[in-house]
Amino acid sequence: MLGITPARYPGHPGRASATSATTRPGQAFPAHRARATHPAGRTRGRAGPGWAGLGRTRGLTRRRARGRAWTGVDGRRRAGGARPVGHTGAMSAPTPPARGSRDLLGGPPATLLPDDLEAPAARALEQGQDAAEVAARTPAASLPWAVLAEDALADGEVVQAYAYARTGYHRGLDALRRAGWRGAGPVPYAHEPNRGFLRALAALARAAAAVGEGDEADRCAGFLADCDAQAPVELLPQG
């Protein structure tokens, strides 16, 4: 006679199954609970160390996972259920940047040209020496080229001013790259050695406008403002 008796299968507690109440001679449990042989030689059954033990462990893990609260990455507690794949169970702190790394939010650092680059030319100009002679002695410095460009603009010699300003501009770019500049970032006007390059850039913007190169004049003026917002106020005509 068949009866419905509860039987605990691995991972399925309390499931009812149709069983036989009869037992075979020498057995202490019904015939439907007869042990089966695991492929690796272990026995399969409720008390066996093989499949049944593994199944009970998995079922217990699933039941515990369904009832256990856990913490999401937003810091809020979850009532239960499986965690998302890769979830660690707690909100991790952000990793601090390595020493010397660039701050992505703040942008690249300011570039400061070395003091000895423009200093000899600046002293010579302060002593009243001719700017052309100073440029010939210190061609890597931007300041004498910027002074030549400014003087040419004042005399109405726009083509010569354009040539002088472009020379000083490119000498300044070379110096900035040697100082670590990578095409972007502040070049402060308050740092005296930077002023030779900034003056040459401002003179190039004015000379480009004077020869009808409006696009280049706008680019140079924008570049000057990107280097330092105060530089156009100091070096370009206002109004």
Evaluate whether 113 touches 179 at the Cβ level (below 8 Å). yes
Amino acid 186: pLDDT: 96
Which residue type sits at 183? G
How far apart are the C-alpha atoms of 111 and 89, rounded to whole Å?
Answer: 44
Percent of the chain with pLDDT over 70: 56
Residue pair 153/161 in contact by the 8 Å Cβ criterion? yes
Tens digits of residue pLDDT in 131-147: 999 999 999 999 999 99
Write down the pTM of the prediction.
0.58
Confidence label for 31 from pLDDT (cuts 50, 70 and 90): very low
Confidence band of 106 (pLDDT split at 50, 70, 90): confident
Alpha carbon distances (Å) from 232 to 119, 170, 176, 203, 227: 23, 19, 19, 11, 10
| Whole-number percent of the chain with pLDDT over 90 | 54
158-186, pLDDT tens digit by residue?
999 999 999 999 999 999 999 999 999 99
For helices 143-154 and 158-178, the axis angle rounded to 10 degrees is 160
Q: How far apart are CA 134 and CA 204, in angstroms?
A: 20
Distances in Å between the alpha carbon of 129 and those of 121, 132, 142, 236?
Answer: 9, 9, 16, 25
